[in-house]
Chains A and B, each alone.
Chain A
Amino acid sequence: MKKVSNANRFAYAFLAFIIVWCTLTFSPRIKPDQYLEEFIGGVVISLIAAALSYKHLSQRGLYNLSPKRIGWFFAYIPVFIWAMIKANFDVAYRVLSPKKPIKPGIVRIRTNLKNPAGKLALANSITLTPGTMTMQIIDDKYYIHWIYVQSEDEKEAGDIIKGEFEKYLKEVFE
């Protein structure tokens, strides 16, 4: 990964903070001059918060906002929601079925994501879909608690658990 200047990373942090601030302070009945005052206050606060945390926030600065990444991110949202709906029905079936078709266990899978933020997004996506939960990440190894262990093989289990996630996250974060 090529080195990104500090000013670039600072600008990215500032932009992220001012957008969050504007959403926090907005309300449908706010008057324009009132919103302007909130915006001025927000600029000052965002500058301070960015100065404190821009080194933590991103490695890549404004390059995070390339149209390609954003496009892939928005493409990822329906994929994720669909995976979540499917997993919800699956877990509901396992809970309600009188035969109790569960076989819980912890499996180890591998990822080829390198970026820490990408790894975090994958871990949280896995945790948010019912039935699977990320317990620990060590380097490229994920330890996942699974409600019904379909395979103990690293590769095979990884393909089932990660599904489409990894392909999209790789485009967004790498």
Chain B
Amino acid sequence: MKKALAIVLAILIFIVFALAFVKIPFGEKMSTYPHYYNPITNQTSNMSLPQHYLTYGKNDTGATNMVTAIVVDYRGFDTLGEVTVLFLASTGVGSLMYVENKVKKKVRRSNAVVETGSKLLFGFIILFGAYIFIHGHLTPGGGFPGGAVIASAFLLLYLAYPKFHAKHEKLSVSESIAGLTFVIVGLIGLIIAGYFLYNFLPFGLPTYLFSAGVIPLIYVAIGVKVGSELTAIVDSMMGVRE
């Protein structure tokens, strides 16, 4: 009885969704839609949405990487929310892993190859992470992968030195400064132009490092924030070791 009900329900949901999706012409020309008004060029056009982004995106944001232009500029507020979600996840892991009577785990010394190798590679991995998030507006990549690369440098130190501990105070300071930078940049835009996260800096020339206005600034902030949050997560998962 229950099974039959479940199947009927599933079919019903499928029909409802199918009916809803039939009306949306995926991948078709926008010409079936009413004319679309573009507030920047002040004219109506029948361009599809992706075409619109590809045509005007470079002039709107100054970024050559269209994905970054959408993530950090058009949908910048949404990205602020995403970063907040990551912060909450980090806090959650921290509170779950916190043990009142800190049980100290016995750990083995790791291999000499790993120890020396991680020491030598640590700085270069940090450099590469920074390279990824600084070029977010020019190349594939950006704050999130760059931050993850930086956290992996710290993870390597955790693996090589069982007694290694990143200082929590320093992590929260760098994380807070990064988060504040993001919000302050947004607020300056609000003051200058009346829009939160308005791109108020000059765009510069496309494909140059110092271009696209505030996008690199925000991506640096995101990179530092993601890096320190993921490191904090790794740190709390490692627990207290002896």
Contacts and interface: CB of A to CB of B under 8 A. Distances in A.
B130 interface: yes
Interface in B99-150: 111-113, 115-117, 119-120, 122-124, 126-128, 130-131, 134
A129 interface: no
A136 interface: yes
Interface residues of B, number: 21
A50 interface: yes
A137 B126 contact: no
B53 interface: no
A164 B130 CA distance: 39
A20 interface: yes
Interface string A45-65: 110111011101100000000
A132 interface: no
B124 A56 contact: no
Interface in B189-207: 207
B217 to A, nearest CB: 12
Given A17-B123, A21-B127, A34 B113 contact: no
A49 B127 contact: yes
B116 A119 contact: yes
Contacts of A160: none
Nearest to B216: A41
Contacts of A41: 134, 209-210
A25 B209 CA distance: 10
B47 to A, nearest CB: 31
B169 to A, nearest CB: 16
Contacts of B134: 41, 45
Nearest to B205: A34
B208 interface: yes
Contacts of A123: 112-113
Most buried by B among A48, A120, A124, A136: A120
Given A52-B126, A136-B111, A120 B131 contact: no
> Is the interface on chain A under 10, 10 to 19, 20 to 34, or 35 or more residues?
20 to 34
Contacts of B115: 116
B112 A46 contact: no
B112 A116 contact: yes
B167 to A, nearest CB: 12
User: Which of B111, B130, B134 has its CB near the most chain A CB atoms (within 10 A)?
Assistant: B130
Contacts of B130: 45, 48-49
A50 B123 contact: yes
Contacts of A40: 209
Contacts of A37: 208-210
B27 to A, nearest CB: 34
Nearest to B127: A49
Contacts of A52: 122-123, 126
A117 interface: yes
Interface of A: 13, 16-17, 20-21, 24-25, 33-34, 37-38, 40-41, 45-46, 48-50, 52-54, 56-57, 116-117, 119-120, 123-124, 134, 136-138
29 contacts: A16-B124, A20-B127, A21-B127, A25-B131, A33-B208, A37-B209, A37-B210, A40-B209, A41-B209, A45-B130, A45-B131, A46-B127, A48-B126, A49-B126, A49-B130, A50-B123, A52-B123, A52-B126, A54-B123, A56-B120, A57-B123, A117-B116, A117-B120, A119-B112, A120-B112, A120-B113, A120-B120, A123-B113, A124-B113
The 4 A-B pairs with the shortest beta carbon distances in the complex, nearest first, are A53-B123, A137-B112, A56-B119, A37-B209
